[in-house]
Amino acid sequence: MKNKVIYLLLGTLFLVILTGCGSSNKNDEHDTTQEEIVVIEPPVIYEAEQADLSGGVMIDTKKESYSGTGYVNGFSVDEDGCHFQVTIKEAGFYDFNFISASEGGYKENIVMLDQEKMGTVSIESTDFSDSVLNRIYLTEGEHVVSYVKYWGYVRLDRLEISKSPALAEDVYEVSAKLVNENAGDEAKRLMSYLTDIYGEYFLSGQYSDGMYSKDMACIWKENGNQYPAVLGLDLIEYTPSRVSHGSTSKAVEHAIEFWEKGGIVTFCWHWNAPEKYLKDPWYSGFYTEYTDIDLEKIMNGEDQEEYDLLMQDIDAIAKQLLILQDAGVPVLWRPLHEASGGWFWWGAKGAEPYLKLYKLLYERLTNEYQLNNLIWIWNGQDKDWYPGDEYVDVIGEDIYPGEQVYSSQMPKYLEALEYTDANKMIVLSENGCLFDPDLAIRDGAMWGFFATWSGEFVSKAGGLNIYSEQYTDKEMLKKVYAHEKVLTLDELPDLKTYEIKE
């Protein structure tokens, strides 16, 4: 149950009404009317106009309602930033609240701690408002917290730093029950295993063109002949508009092979738009800018022809998933990914048509095709795009923080926790660089699995199986795969006989 905390000023201490400061086990009986009094310190305030400024950032006073003697603006190019010198008296977890105002529309900018990227914060209001990055671990002593231009075009008034509330005690207690009531035993066994280890172990994963591809070879060679536990694959080449141009794929065969070797398979689908709506180049037809498709019209019933074409595409993909089902392969299925970003056509018209398409896809694959081997990973990456608990088994976040950024990415983990009141497993469904498992354990960012994207994130260009250290250096790669809490292929149980947890 959510705890309630009462607002009260006591000298230099506050009693604050907070929702989500902690949680009891869902199975425990609890008096929901009981109020728990928690004494916390007020935030420490750092005024932006007193911070170190870089690039074209400057002090201004034109906009009203600022605190201190002014605010700063001028975030327009990459060198622009505001750098706060902060002093931490006690090591622990802290929330960063950047009081800022947009200069018009949604804006998102980067937060760095001691020159390492911690995440991003967003603001849409043109009034000075909260923009929070939660649960950042700080050691005792001096630090530099930087607010750096990404989208830019904001007014920054101040930074407020306060101690973070504890994570809910039941945050990793996730049900193994799948949203598809007719889910097959193969999917139930896999979900039972995933939920059994969630919160204690991380499953290693790699997107690659099969078990014996270039990327997998690099991982295998650098890590003492160890393979990742999860193989990531893409159904893109089975899309009709790509098949018509001669595309072929062995992804389904690779999935069956990996499953027979004892591994776990996850699939995404870069859905190339139907031929009629493609722009040049045709092979980039999953991107918004290379299609003329209008999902809003389609889902509102204004474009029946395109609706029928989308259904034909779904039918083509369903046939491949049925092959996997017939082979007894459970699939961590992640369709319509990264929708809220808008760079893919299925997210270009906003949340409403996307949600209609997501639910339609679920209903068609589950009810019409009776695909009972799918574990549904929702990867919309924004609360307003969440389709509902009845359509989601697992929540996925895709994070590409830059080169050799090994932080736990806890702020995104916390954001994912807020998509729903239900406890859902959270996974790092795509990543560029690896995270440091020790930091993730310390922070509580217990990603169910990670799945590093292929290509430059693992291997160097060319025909040789040479590992690239651009995103993750060899020492961190070896640390991750050798870590006692990171599971590899050889450490998986027999998932064909694993006990089903009801």
For residue 23, pLDDT over 70 is answered with no
CA distances 13 to 42, 158, 244, Å, are 6, 21, 68
The pLDDT confidence band at residue 18, using thresholds 50, 70 and 90, is very low
d(CA 303, CA 277): 12
389 burial level (CB within 10 Å; 0-12, 13-18, 19+)? middle
- pTM, full prediction: 0.89
Token pair listed for 107: 């804006």
pLDDT, position 29:
39
SS3 label, residue 47: strand
Q: Are 139 and 89 in contact (CB under 8 A)?
A: no
Cis peptide before 281 (omega within 30 of 0): yes
E strand or H helix that includes residue 394: strand 394-399
Task: Indicate the length of the chain as a whole number.
Answer: 502
The sheet with strand 39-40 has its strands ordered as: 8-10, 13-15, 39-40
> Letter for the amino acid at 400?
Y
Is the pLDDT assigned to residue 65 strictly greater than 50?
Answer: yes
Q: Quickly state the pLDDT bin for 12 (edges 50, 70, 90).
A: very low
Measure CA 116 to chain center.
Answer: 19
246 falls in which pLDDT band (50, 70, 90)?
A: very high
At 380-424, the pLDDT tens digits run 999 999 999 999 999 999 999 999 999 999 999 999 999 999 999
Q: DSSP letters of 230-286?
A: EEEEE-GGGSHHHHTTT----HHHHHHHHHHTT-EEEEE---PPPGGGB-SSGGGTT
Q: Quick one: 414 exposed, middle or buried, by C-beta within 10 A (0-12, 13-18, 19+)? A: buried
Question: What sign results for the dihedral spanned by CA atoms 425, 431, 435, 439?
Answer: negative
Instruction: Give the pairing of strands 264-268 and 230-234.
Output: parallel
3-class SS of residue 28: coil
First to last CA, the chain: 23
Domains of the chain (ranges, CATH numbers): 1-42 (no CATH), 44-163 (2.60.120.260), 185-491 (3.20.20.80)
φ, ψ for residue 435, nearest 5 deg: -100, 155
What is the maximal distance between C-alpha atoms in the chain? 73
Q: In whole angstroms, what is the distance from residue 215 CA to residue 456 CA?
A: 9
| Catalytic residue set | 338, 430
Residues forming a β-bridge with 117: 112
CA dist 97 to 26, 120, 145, 147, 460, Å? 30, 12, 11, 11, 40
Tell me the mean pLDDT in the region 437-460: 97
Q: What are the φ and ψ backbone dihedral angles of 79, each rounded to 5 degrees?
A: -80, -5
Q: Name residue, tokens 């693992």.
A: 458
The mean pLDDT of the chain is 92
User: Cα–Cα distance between 270 and 334 in angstroms, integer?
Assistant: 10
Q: CA angle 12-18-24, nearest 5°?
A: 120
Q: Which of 279, 306, 291, 387 is nearest to 344 (CA)?
A: 291
DSSP of 182-243 = T--HHHHHHHHHHHHHTTT-EE-EEE-SSTTSHHHHHHHHHTTSPPBSEEEEE-GGGSHHHH
Mean pLDDT of 286-299: 97
The confidence band for 41, taking pLDDT boundaries of 50, 70 and 90, is confident
